[in-house]
Amino acid sequence: MTNLQLLLGFLLNLAVALLIIRGVYYPIKRDKEYLLTFFMLNTSLYLVISLLGGIELSVGLGLGLFVIFRVLRYRTEPVPVREMTYLFVLMMLPVMNAVLFKQAAYVALLIADGVTVLVLYIVDRGWSSRSDSRKSITYEKIDLVKPENYDRLLADLRERTGLSVTRCEIGRIDFVKDVAEIEVYYRQSPARLP
């Protein structure tokens, strides 16, 4: 692979990663916590795979990295499912792009990248954006956790959190401390890009 091919492949991979991260992931959940991880994992993986000689070695390395990622998943702080999905896609993307670029399969490369972005966009912006997000909270108004006060509880949670709370589930109740663990489900409106 020549230097120009490496640069062109890198720019294409970076453009697709940027489109996925900035165009699909970030507008729904404006959380910057994983952005550095997404970009650097994608970039470094593309460069390592592109600089390796054989396609078989690149694919083997890509699959090996998935296994390592899976092992690390059990040893670190839990990553939300949505972020883990994006992380997986952004790990798969450079493997696919590097292999197809080395094979000069440019049409297949554009189709694969386009389908990946399109499916992510449709599923994340269409179906999953309509689902409720959830938070676990410790709630101190213990009298509102009674079943007959459910509507008042929802109204209080909406007022105090500013969230569009749709429902909640009462977990553990501690009568000594007068608190309850509540799982709050709310609609998250899609954020607009600045």
Q: What is the mean pLDDT of residues 16-32?
A: 81
Strand ranges, E, within 42-163? 133-139
Q: What is the mean pLDDT of residues 16-22?
A: 88
End-to-end CA distance of the chain: 39
How confident is the model at residue 191, as a pLDDT?
Answer: 46
Mean model confidence pLDDT for the chain: 79
Q: Determine the residue type at 75.
A: R
How confident is the model at residue 166, as a pLDDT?
Answer: 86
Reduced to 3 states (helix: H, G, I; strand: E, B; else coil), residue 187 is strand
How confident is the model at residue 155, as a pLDDT?
Answer: 93
- Give the pTM: 0.60
Q: Which helix (H) or strand (E) holds 180?
A: strand 179-187
> Where does the pLDDT of residue 54 fall: very low under 50, low under 70, confident under 90, or very high at 90 and above?
low
Residue 80: which of 46, 131, 13, 116 has the closest Cα?
131
How confident is the model at residue 55, as a pLDDT?
Answer: 56
Q: What is the DSSP secondary-structure string of 8-34?
A: HHHHHHHHHHHIIIIIIIHHHS---TT
